[in-house]
């Protein structure tokens, strides 16, 4: 322990003494973070939208043969956006923190408005503090979703209206509020009225028969108008309206996903390269063999390099998070979890880097090996939806590190169990790669 | 003090050292001489505990194993640390109770005072070699193993280093040093071990080596050189 602390002190002293390396360690991640964040900030990605449902009536509206509920509506929305159901307060906080791209509010009485058709129901979309590009993408996605829903509702309404028109015109059996009965219909009404009129004329009551004429005219006029059914078609042209509002506040836009990717690339590269350089420089200075004469064990030396890398990752990570918190719209927060994540990710990157560095004979080769191993694996880590890539990235530190960064930046609410599993995964990989690195370093002690 | 029997080492089937016996006593200076690839570094590395022997054993005359200092041929130290920092670090790693005091003592003994706060990578070869030796002394060894310590030094640097080694020897430290120079082996060693192709060809004084090859009763540098060449030539040819 004391030996590891002494070597750690030496590594930190050398790091501080080398301004060029320090500058690279600070500037490089910032540069990489900016580039990766820009690259990942695309409107092609499905946005995360918080849905706040204030309509708790549980009512449904008949659409054609089926009935539509709020849950059905949200399920249909999720075809276009990643839906996160939250209460109003959590949604506002998630939007403020940049963990969701927008908040879609379903107002109270939405379904009954839809049902009654008296007042046009409206969905409320808040896209405050987002990038204009991303906000446009979200509005487009939701407009498309509402348009498709409107179309489906329109078809259902038209069918309903036509059946109703048919019932009014032709008559037949109809159900109202759970009761069924026989509807007379305009055609049969006209036949009844004209029959009465003829009987009155035949009975020598032409005056009374003439008084029925306006009723017959009304029935004819109504029938003609119903044939057109225009008022019904106009009424259901757009049953739901999407009202978009944008808050005035907002700073530089940055997507949480983009920043998570940037953090992964910058910390992953810096950590792996630093660890590889740290172990290979011991070898290049010929000191590894001297250390191996019982001055420090291979395990302790690898652990020391891992801690050294973790400290560097912690400083770089906190710097990046600080810059983001200070100059962009992305709210960071969750600092205790960030500390744990950065330390564990740093340990895992360090173990991976020490293994790569110990495999090479001198520093330049070690850096090249580390870079060649890290770059493709980092890229795989950024493709969480690709099954094979995801599987590969989960056996190296980059996959779980990205998961943890995303969870902390994106998830509106964090499941303690899931986060603990991700951190345990990182710790396990740190131990596995650290163990492998210690075996290689032990061989190098004797070289 | 140190008795090695039947030491051998193979690297992926290639014999680097085979059945070598060696003894080293307190206050003694023994030269390990042989051409390139003779196995000198391998033998020193095994005795230093850096490399594991494939065969053979090492025993200590005393009950406790002696503390062994090791001076590798290429200086094993941090080039970007100063001599003072290097010595403090290695003194700490060796478990010194007061690493700073030991570092200062070693700076004085190695005559490094003028250079103590300059990065080691910017010092002359001779100064770096003195630092390399000082680091080996940070563990307060009773046996010092040196792998061609003067190979890259100028005559005056070499002289200065041997003066210091001589003083250490007078303090009772045992020295085993590798060299390719018969002259250095003769002048600085009480005995010599001649290694070629991993095998020990001779162990004794230079006079004994000269006599064994019928060159003459005396043992001047030229005679010793001739005896050495006669000794190693057949083995090298066979190898």
What is the tens place of the pLDDT at every residue in A386-419?
566 677 778 888 888 988 888 888 776 777 788 8
Residue B167 lies in a domain: yes
Examine the domain organization and report whether B97 and B122 are in the same domain.
Answer: yes
Residue B77 to residue A295, Cβ atoms within 8 A: no
For residues B137 and B167, state if they share a domain.
no
> ipTM exceeding 0.90?
no
- In chain A, which residues touch B (CB < 8 A)? 2-3, 6-7, 10, 13-14, 17-18, 285-287, 289-296, 445-446
pLDDT one-digit tens code per residue, B198-220 = 899 888 888 888 887 766 666 67
Does the residue B213 lie in any domain? yes
Task: Identify the domain boundary among B121, B141, B161.
Answer: B141
A176 and A160 housed in the same domain: no
Closest CA to A377 of A278, A302, A272, A260: A272
Whether B94 is in a domain gets the answer: yes
DSSP helix/strand/coil, B147: strand
Residues in A touching B92 (Cβ below 8 Å): 2-3, 6
In chain B, positions 118-177, which contact chain A (CB-CB < 8 Å)?
135
Domain membership of residue B99 (yes or no) is yes
Q: What is the pLDDT of residue A46?
A: 65
Q: What are phi and psi of B150, to 5 degrees?
A: -110, 10
Within a domain: residue B71?
no
User: Do B151 and B232 belong to one domain?
Assistant: yes
Q: Do B92 and A2 touch (CB under 8 A)?
A: yes
Residues A191 and A299 in one domain: no
Q: What is the pLDDT of residues A71-81, one digit of tens each?
A: 877 887 777 77
Chain B partners within 8 Å of A2 (Cβ): 92
Do B130 and B164 sit in the same domain of this protein?
no
Tell me the average pLDDT across A213-234.
76
Which residues, in sequence order, are bridge partners of residue A175?
A180
pLDDT single digits (tens) A121-154: 788 888 755 555 566 666 777 777 777 777 777 7
Q: Residue B174: its pLDDT value, please?
A: 92
pLDDT at B9: 92
Report the candidate in A228, A196, A200 with the shortest Cα–Cα distance to residue A215. Answer: A196
Residue A135 sits in which domain range?
48-168+239-245
Residue scoring higher pLDDT (A68 or B168):
B168
B52 plus B159 within the same structural domain: yes
As a whole number of angstroms, the distance between CA B78 and CA B122 comes to 11
Q: Write out residues 34-53 of B within 8 Å (CB-CB) of A.
A: 48-52
Residues of chain A with C-beta less than 8 angstroms from the C-beta of B89: 6-7, 10
- Chain B residue with CA closest to A297: the answer is B93
Identify whether residues B147 and B228 lie together within a single domain. Answer: yes
A215 and A316 housed in the same domain? no
A31 and A74, same domain (yes or no)? no
Enter the tokens of residue B147.
């792998």
Whether residue A422 is found in the same domain as residue A366: yes
Specify the pLDDT at position A177.
52
Exposure on the CB side of residue B59, measured as CA atoms within 13 A? 6
Residue B157 has pLDDT above 80, yes or no: yes
Task: Indicate whether A276 and A414 sit together in one domain.
Answer: yes
Please indicate whether, in this complex, the C-beta atoms of A286 and B52 are within 8 angstroms of each other.
Answer: no
Residues A115 and A163 in one domain: yes
Minimum CA–CA partner of B90 in chain A: A295
* Residue B124 pLDDT exceeds 70: yes
Q: What CATH number does residue A121 fall under? A: 3.40.1710.10
User: Has residue A234 got a pLDDT over 60?
Assistant: no
Smallest Cβ–Cβ distance between A293 and the set B49, B52, B75 belongs to B49
Which range is most confident: A167-176, A264-273, B59-68, B128-137? Answer: B128-137
The answer to whether residues A188 and A267 touch, using CB atoms and an 8 Å cutoff, is: no
Pairs across A and B, CB distance < 8 A: 54
Boundary residue ending a domain (B87, B112, B141): B141
Do residues A272 and A353 lie in contact, with contact meaning Cβ atoms separated by under 8 Å? Answer: yes
CATH of the domain at B166: 3.40.50.300
Residue B83 to residue B149: CA distance in whole angstroms: 18
- Please tell me if residue B227 touches chain A, with a CB cutoff of 8 Å: no
Domain range for B109 is 76-141
Among B94, B111, B141, the domain-final residue is B141
Share above pLDDT 70 across residues of chain A, in percent, rounded to a whole number: 80
Predicted local confidence at residue B26, as pLDDT: 87
Residues B210 and B137 in one domain: no
**A49 against B165, higher pLDDT:** B165
> A384 and A258 in one domain?
yes
* Domain boundary residue, one of A245, A269, A302: A245
Residues B137, B151 within the same domain: no
Q: Do B94 and A295 touch (CB under 8 A)?
A: yes
Nearest residue of A to residue B138, measured between CA atoms: A295
Q: Report how far apart, in Å, the C-alpha atoms of A393 and of each of A348, A373, A424, A426, A429 are.
A: 13, 12, 16, 12, 11
Q: In this complex, do A293 and B50 lie within 8 Å of one another by their Cβ atoms?
A: yes
Min Cα distance B65 → chain A (Å) is 14
Please name the member of A18, A285, A294 whose beta carbon is closest to the beta carbon of B78.
A285
Among the listed residues A98, A133, A63, A14, the one whose alpha carbon sits nearest the alpha carbon of residue A411 = A98
One domain for residues B151 and B132? no
Long-range contacts of range A177-182, CB-CB < 8 Å, 24 or more positions apart? Answer: none
Domain boundary among A218, A245, A272: A245
Beta-strand ranges (E) seen in A139-209 are 172-176, 179-183
Between chains, do A295 and B79 touch, taking CB under 8 Å as contact?
A: no
pLDDT tens-digit readout, A191-205: 888 898 888 888 888
Question: Of A10, A293, A296, which has the smallest distance from its Cβ to B78's Cβ?
Answer: A10
Of B51, B75, B94, the CB nearest to A286: B75
Lowest mean pLDDT across A170-179, A329-338, B148-157: A170-179
Q: Would residue B83 count as lying in a domain?
A: yes
Domain total of chain B: 2
Residue A305 reports pLDDT greater than 70: yes
Q: What value does the mean pLDDT take over residues A356-384?
A: 75
Q: Is pLDDT above 90 for A10?
A: yes
Q: Which of A93-97, A229-233, A325-329, B175-179 has the highest average model confidence (pLDDT)?
A: B175-179
Last residue of a domain, one of A245, A272, A295: A245
Checking if the pLDDT of B59 tops 80, the result is yes
Please report, for residues B119, B139, B197, the alpha-carbon distance to residue B136 in angstroms, rounded to integers and kept in the order given. 18, 7, 28
Most confident by average pLDDT, A180-194, A242-256, A295-309? A295-309
Whether A251 has a pLDDT exceeding 50, the answer reads no
Let me know: does A271 contact A406? Beta carbons within 8 Å: no
Render pLDDT for A276-302 as a digit per residue (tens, 0 to 9). Answer: 989 988 888 889 888 988 899 999 999
pLDDT at A232: 57
Q: Across the interface, which of A3, A6, A287 has its CB nearest the CB of B77?
A: A287
- The whole-chain average pLDDT of chain A stands at 79
Considering the domain architecture, whether residues A60 and A199 belong to the same structural domain is answered as no
Nearest 5°: the CA angle B123, B127, B133 is 130
Confidence of residue A107 (pLDDT cuts 50, 70, 90): confident
Q: How many domains is chain A built from?
A: 3
- With 0-12 / 13-18 / 19 or more C-beta atoms within 10 angstroms meaning exposed / middle / buried, residue A177 is exposed
Is residue B133, in this structure, part of any structural domain at all?
Answer: yes
Report the residue of A20, A293, A301 to disrupt the B interface, i.e. the one with the largest count of B CBs within 10 Å.
A293
Residues A288 and A382 in one domain: yes
For residue B29, what is the DSSP state? E
- Same domain assignment for residues B103 and B167: no
Residues B180 and B127 in one domain: no
A137 with A180, same domain?
A: no
- A104 & A162 share domain: yes
Give the whole-angstrom CA distance, residue A441 versus residue A278: 12
pLDDT band at A249 (very low <50, low <70, confident <90, very high): very low
Same domain (yes/no): B55, B90: no
């Amino acid at each position: 322990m004391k030996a590891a602390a002494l070597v750690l002190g030496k590594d930190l002293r050398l790091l501080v003494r080398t301004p060029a390396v320090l500058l690279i360690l600070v500037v490089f991640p910032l540069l990489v973070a900016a580039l990766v964040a820009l690259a990942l900030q695309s409107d092609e990605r499905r946005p995360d939208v918080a849905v706040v449902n204030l309509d708790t009536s549980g009512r449904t509206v008949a659409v054609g043969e089926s009935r539509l509920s709020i849950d059905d509506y949200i399920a249909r929305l999720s075809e276009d956006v990643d839906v996160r159901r939250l209460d109003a307060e959590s949604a506002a906080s998630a939007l403020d923190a940049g963990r969701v791209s927008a908040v879609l509010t379903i107002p109270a009485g939405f379904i009954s408005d839809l049902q009654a058709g008296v007042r046009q129901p409206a969905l409320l979309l808040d896209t405050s503090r987002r990038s204009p590009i991303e906000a446009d993408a979200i509005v487009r996605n939701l407009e498309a979703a509402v348009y498709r829903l409107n179309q489906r509702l329109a078809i259902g309404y038209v069918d309903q209206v036509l059946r109703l028109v048919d019932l009014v015109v032709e008559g037949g059996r109809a159900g109202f509020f759970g009761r069924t009965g026989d509807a007379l219909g305009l055609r049969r009404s006209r036949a009844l009225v004209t029959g009465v009129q003829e009987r009155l004329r035949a009975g020598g009551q032409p005056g009374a028969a003439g008084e029925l004429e306006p009723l017959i005219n009304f029935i004819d006029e109504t029938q003609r108008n119903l044939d057109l059914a225009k008022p019904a078609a106009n009424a259901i042209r757009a049953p739901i309206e999407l009202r978009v509002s944008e808050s005035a506040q907002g700073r530089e836009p940055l997507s949480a996903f983009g920043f998570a990717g940037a953090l992964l690339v910058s910390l992953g590269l810096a950590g792996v390269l630093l660890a590889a350089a740290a172990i290979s420089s011991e070898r290049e200075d010929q000191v590894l063999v001297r250390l191996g004469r019982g001055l420090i064990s291979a395990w302790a030396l690898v652990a020391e390099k891992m801690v050294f890398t973790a400290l560097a990752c912690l400083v770089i990570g906190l710097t990046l998070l600080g810059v983001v918190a200070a100059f962009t719209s992305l709210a960071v927060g969750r600092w205790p979890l960030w500390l744990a994540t950065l330390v564990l990710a740093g340990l895992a990157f360090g173990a991976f880097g020490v293994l790569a560095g110990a495999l090479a004979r001198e520093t330049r080769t070690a850096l090249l090996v580390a870079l060649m191993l890290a770059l493709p694996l980092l890229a795989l880590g950024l493709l969480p939806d690709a099954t094979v890539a995801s599987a590969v990235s989960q056996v190296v530190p980059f996959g779980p590190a990205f998961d943890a960064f995303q969870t902390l930046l994106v998830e509106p609410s964090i499941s303690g169990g899931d986060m603990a599993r991700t951190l345990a995964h990182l710790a396990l990989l740190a131990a596995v790669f650290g163990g492998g690195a210690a075996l290689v370093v032990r061989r190098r002690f004797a070289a | 003090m140190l008795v090695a029997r039947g030491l051998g080492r193979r690297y992926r089937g290639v014999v680097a050292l085979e059945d070598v016996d060696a003894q080293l006593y307190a206050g003694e200076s023994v030269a390990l001489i042989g051409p390139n690839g003779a196995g000198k570094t391998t033998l020193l590395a095994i005795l230093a505990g850096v490399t594991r022997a494939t065969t053979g054993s090492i025993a200590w005359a005393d009950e406790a194993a002696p503390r062994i200092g090791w001076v590798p041929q290429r200086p094993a130290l941090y080039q970007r640390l100063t001599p003072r920092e290097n010595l403090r670090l290695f003194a700490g790693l060796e478990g010194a109770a007061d690493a700073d005091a030991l570092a200062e003592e070693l700076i004085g003994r190695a005559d490094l005072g003028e250079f103590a706060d300059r990065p080691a990578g910017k010092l002359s070869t001779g100064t770096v070699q003195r630092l390399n030796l000082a680091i080996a002394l940070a563990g307060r060894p009773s046996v010092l193993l040196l792998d061609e310590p003067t190979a890259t030094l100028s005559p005056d640097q070499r002289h200065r280093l041997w003066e210091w080694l001589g003083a250490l020897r007078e303090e009772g430290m045992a020295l085993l040093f590798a060299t390719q120079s018969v002259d250095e082996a003769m002048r600085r060693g009480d005995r010599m071990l001649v290694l070629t192709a991993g095998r020990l060809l001779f162990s004794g004084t230079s006079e004994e080596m000269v006599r064994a090859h019928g060159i003459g009763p005396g043992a001047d540098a030229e005679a010793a050189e001739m005896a050495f060449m006669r000794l190693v030539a057949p083995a090298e040819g066979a190898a």
